[in-house]
Amino acid sequence: MKLLRNLVLLLLAVGLGGCGYNAIQKQDEAVKAAWSEVLNQYQRRADLVPNLVNTVKGYAQHEEKVFTEVTEARAKVGSLQVNADSLNDPQKLKQFQAAQGELGSALSRLMVVSENYPQLKADGLFQNLQAQLEGTENRVTVARNRYVQAVQAYNAMIRTFPNNMTAKIFGYQVKPNFTVENEQAISTAPKVDFGTTAPAPAATH
């Protein structure tokens, strides 16, 4: 009886201008592809961490707290697996986003530490890692933006009649997106600059 009802609903959707199944499937694949790129770029950033930490350690042995924070944040990121099949779980996406945010903050603190070591900033390997990290942060931002747009297009599609009927029949659900409170972080790449020294603050009396 349930199967018959679903068949009737599907035939109704087709009769009202096409069920939109192929379009929904295509957009769902676009979301998965965009997410894969997000993961690739975040993995690229995580892969830079060991060399970056070891290079800074060579000049700043006494900054153990910062090294530990970066290492632990990277380990936490590595323990969270959010694949394309679990993108419908808002809690998993939230946890993933929080872990990546913690790693980004830890890397920012490592950057601040580097400003105190001129010899480190002049190191060729460090400069190379700087350039790689800066490029990766930019690629992360682009990938996240594309994912946000893909999810928005998908969600809009499956909410529109008669696509919403087809989505219901075939189990397509609205997908969670990156949270609004981090919208600025999504649209603006973090500034990574080991090569210049910020002006010293004015002395206070």
* 52-58: long-range contacts, CB 8 A cutoff, minimum separation 24: 52/107, 52/110, 52/129, 52/133, 53/110, 55/120, 55/123, 55/125, 55/126, 55/129, 56/110, 56/113, 56/114, 56/117, 56/120, 56/126, 58/120, 58/123
Predicted local confidence at residue 48, as pLDDT = 94
Q: What average pLDDT does range 57-75 have in this prediction? A: 92
Instruction: Express each pLDDT in 130-179 by its tens digit.
Output: 899 999 999 999 999 999 999 999 999 999 988 898 899 889 999 999 87
- Residue 40 sits at the vertex; the CA angle it makes with 33 and 182, to the nearest 5 degrees, is 85
> Domain locations in the chain?
32-181
Q: How far apart are alpha carbons 12 and 5 in whole angstroms? A: 11
pLDDT digits (tens, 9 = 90+) for 83-105: 887 888 999 999 999 999 999 99
Question: pTM score, two decimals?
Answer: 0.78
Two structure tokens written together for 59 = 């000049």
**Domain 32-181 is in which class?**
mainly alpha
Q: Which two tokens stand for residue 44?
A: 């690229």
CA angle, residues 105, 111, 113, in degrees to nearest 5: 110
pLDDT of residue 51: 94
